[in-house]
Chains A and B, each alone.
Chain A
Amino acid sequence: MLTEEQIERYSRHIILKEVGGKGQQRLFDGRVLIIGAGGLGAPIALYLAAAGVGAIGIADADDVDLSNLQRQVIHFTPDIGKPKVESAREKMEAINPDVKVRTYKEWVSAANIGAIIADYDFIIDGTDNFAAKFLINDACVLARKPYSHGGILQFDGQTMTVRPGESACYRCIFPEPPPKDAIPTCSQAGVIGVLPGVLGTIQATEAIKFLLGKGDLLTNRLLTYSALRMRFREIPLKRNTACPVCGDNPTITEVRDELDALTVCDLKAP
């Protein structure tokens, strides 16, 4: 039962025909994991917390750095040096004390990802490297967890939602990570600060629609966004029967780390 304060807090949700008190309850009962507390993770975490998603997990091993603040709007200048997941948790709890935040101050890997995603209904990939993106796809497909893929670089972004067993997965279109020399290096990996705001907000929208059970998810479609051209494009996709993880004869039957897909910049000194 909603308290008077909650009725007021979520009044703009409750008014909506597609939400109502019942939909708000579904959000309270929802469990969403955000992998990455950076550019994409920032708006995702803030909006999901504000929306009243009851249990939100957030995973990231990094600490807040001055160079993050141009786009990672959940972290503030006094947070520099603090673990990103702690900085994010503080803002999420401040925006909405109803929400239970669980932090994972670790990188996801083949060794830990299965146990981390097991507790959640919907997973969001807010990571910045191919190794993590393929790992998250494989883990979600193998565990049959719906998830949102998102990626950004320079002025461009892309996102798609995967319902394992029902819609195309990341490996259906990209069977393997790109060759090492095609992976952007740090000096190429600029990003316009507003870009993750656009993509992350779309990813958060997908999580909310999934929990509500309303509307059409971004499945079997890759949505691309060019900030410079200010254009969205939708590329129709379908499941690939030869997909190495969700196809008819999968060759990937357990998660593995794609070590070659790590960028040099990911290998920071401890």
Chain B
Amino acid sequence: MSTIKLDITKDHCPMTFVKTKLQLEQLEDGDILEILLTAGEPLENVPKTCKDQGYQVLETAHVEGNIHKVVIKK
């Protein structure tokens, strides 16, 4: 099992989820994706949509300023 990092702090909806999804598709079941994203719409919606599409949200944590980390398991 590997952990992949993805920075979508510069992206806007829906590209935030588009990039997340494309990355998740590349992973094997059980792999972990650590996403850096900004507060507001991305933080609210990306984990929610991941859950809707069958991925597991393991952790959401504040990093610094308006940047947060979301950890997803495939």
Contact = CB atoms under 8 A, between A and B. Distances in A.
Contact of B25 (A7, A8, A21): A21
Contacts, number: 28
Interface residues of A, number: 11
A14 B18 CA distance: 6
Contacts of A14: 18, 21-22
A15 B21 contact: yes
Contacts of B54: 17
A11 interface: yes
Nearest to A2: B22
A22 B14 CA distance: 18
Contacts of B49: 15
Contacts of B17: 15
A83 interface: no
Range class of the B interface residue count = 10 to 19
A62 B18 CA distance: 42
B2 interface: no
A20 interface: yes
B21 A20 contact: yes
Given A20-B25, A22-B25, A11 B18 contact: yes
A139 B69 CA distance: 56
Contact of B18 (A7, A17, A22): A7
Counting from the closest, the 5 A-B pairs by CB-CB distance are: A21-B22, A11-B18, A17-B53, A14-B18, A21-B25
20 contacts: A2-B22, A7-B15, A7-B18, A7-B22, A8-B15, A11-B14, A11-B15, A11-B18, A12-B14, A14-B21, A14-B22, A15-B14, A15-B17, A15-B18, A15-B49, A17-B53, A20-B21, A21-B21, A21-B22, A22-B25
